Amino acid sequence: MSKAPTLPAGADAPIGVFDSGVGGLSVLRHIQQQLPQEHVLYFADIGFAPYGDKPEAAVVQRALAVAEFLIGHGAKALVVACNTATVAAIKAIRAAWPGMPIVGVEPGLKPGAATTRNGTVGVMATDNTLRGEKFLQLRDQISSASKAQFLLQPCIGLADRINTGDLEGPETAAMLERYVLPLLEQGADTLVLGCTHYPFVQAGIERLVAAHAKGPVTVIDTGDAVARQLARLLEGAGLLRPGGTVPHLRGYTTAARAGLTEAFDKLLGQHPEVEAVKIA
C-alpha cells in the first residue's frame, strides 16, 4: 500500500462510504436522509466479496486499499458500512488517517439492550460476525452490564440473496421464516439487524412479527445511528457541507457496472453514475 494521501480541507468534499457489496446502501439511505446536502462516493467491493470468508489480515489490507482509493478521490470522511470490515479494519484505518472522521457499523447490541422490555434480544447477523471474538466479547460486556440475554441467529445466505436483488421472492421469504420465527418463539421482544443488508428485507421481517409475535417487537436498523454519528463528527470538524447547490452521488464497483447500477435502482430508486474500477 502506498503512502496515505493528504486529507482534503473543504467542507464541499464528498463522504466516502464502502461495503463489500450493496448492503451499505441501507446506510447510505440514512446518510442521505440526515445529511441531504452532502456529496457521497459509494464503493461496492463486489469483486472481492464476501469479506466474511477471508482471513482478517486480508480484510484489513483490502479495507485500507479501498479507503485509500476513496480518500484519493477527495473523500473528507469515511463510513465503513460493513460489519466484517468494521470489526477487522477500522482501527487500522483510523491509525492510517488519524485526522479524518471515520465511522463504522456496529452489530446493534447496545441499542438492543437499551430497547428491550423483557430482556430478550434477537440478533440477526452473518455467521462470521456472530462467531467473531470481538463480537462475543462485546456481547458478554453488554449482557453483564444490562442483564440482557442475546439470542444469536446466523442468517446464512441471506445477504447473498439480497445482493441478487430478491427482496420479496419465495426463497427470501422462506429464509426469513427460518431465521426470524425461532427468535420470536424464544420470546425476543427486540430484533437487531446486525448486517447492513438486512434493512432491505425489514418489511418482510415486520410481516412475520405481526403474524407470529405474542406482543410488541421492536426492529432495530443500526444505519440511523451511523448517520447520526457521522453528522456529529462532521459538525465537530467544521466539515458539514452548506446547502444550496445540488449534491452528487457517484458509485464505484470492483465488478461489472450493471450490478451496482441495478442495486441503486432497485434498492434506492436512484440512478447515479457508476464506474467499474480495479484496486490492488
* 20 annotated to bind ligand: yes
Q: Report pLDDT digits (tens) over 231-240.
A: 999 999 999 9
- Nearest Cα residue to 200 out of 183, 175, 232, 217: 175
Beta bridge partners of residue 102, listed in sequence order: 78
Burial class of residue 249, CB neighbours in 10 A (0-12, 13-18, 19+):
buried
pLDDT number for residue 129: 83
Q: Report pLDDT digits (tens) over 116-134.
A: 999 999 999 988 788 888 8
Query: Under CATH, to which class is 15-105+224-276 assigned?
Result: alpha beta
Tell me the backbone φ, ψ of residue 139, rounded to 5 degrees: -60, -45
pLDDT number for residue 9: 52
The full length of the chain comes to 280
Helices assigned H by DSSP within the chain: 25-34, 56-72, 83-96, 109-115, 127-131, 133-146, 158-163, 170-185, 202-212, 223-236, 257-263
Q: Which three cell numbers stand for residue 6?
A: 493528504
Burial class of residue 155, CB neighbours in 10 A (0-12, 13-18, 19+):
buried
Question: 70, 82, 220, 267: which is the annotated catalytic residue?
Answer: 82
* 24 annotated to bind ligand: no
Question: 195, 213, 219, 234: which is the annotated catalytic residue?
Answer: 195
pLDDT number for residue 29: 96
d(CA 249, CA 269): 13
> Percent of the chain having pLDDT more than 90?
80
pLDDT number for residue 277: 97
* 222 annotated to bind ligand: no
pLDDT number for residue 131: 84
d(CA 223, CA 192): 11
Q: What's the mean pLDDT when you consider all of the chain?
A: 92
Question: Residue 244 above 90 pLDDT?
Answer: no
Question: Residue 178 above 70 pLDDT?
Answer: yes
Q: What is the CATH number of domain 109-221?
A: 3.40.50.1860
- CB of 46 within 8 A of CB of 24? no
Question: Residue 94 above 70 pLDDT?
Answer: yes
Whole-angstrom CA distances from 21 to 26, 47, 120, 255 are 11, 9, 31, 10
* 45 annotated to bind ligand: no
Question: Residue 6 above 70 pLDDT?
Answer: no
* 51 annotated to bind ligand: yes
Q: Report pLDDT digits (tens) over 44-75.
A: 999 998 887 788 899 999 999 999 999 999 99
- Nearest Cα residue to 247 out of 39, 44, 46: 39
For residue 82, indicate whether it is catalytic: yes
* 261 annotated to bind ligand: no
Q: Report pLDDT digits (tens) over 124-170.
A: 998 878 888 888 999 999 999 999 999 999 999 998 888 888 899 99
Question: Residue 2 above 60 pLDDT?
Answer: no
Domain with CATH 3.40.50.1860 in the chain: 15-105+224-276, 109-221
For residue 195, indicate whether it is catalytic: yes
Question: Residue 252 above 90 pLDDT?
Answer: yes
> Percent of the chain having pLDDT more than 70?
97
Question: Residue 34 above 60 pLDDT?
Answer: yes
Residues 37-43 have a mean pLDDT of 97
Whether residue 50 has a cis bond before it, omega within 30° of 0: yes
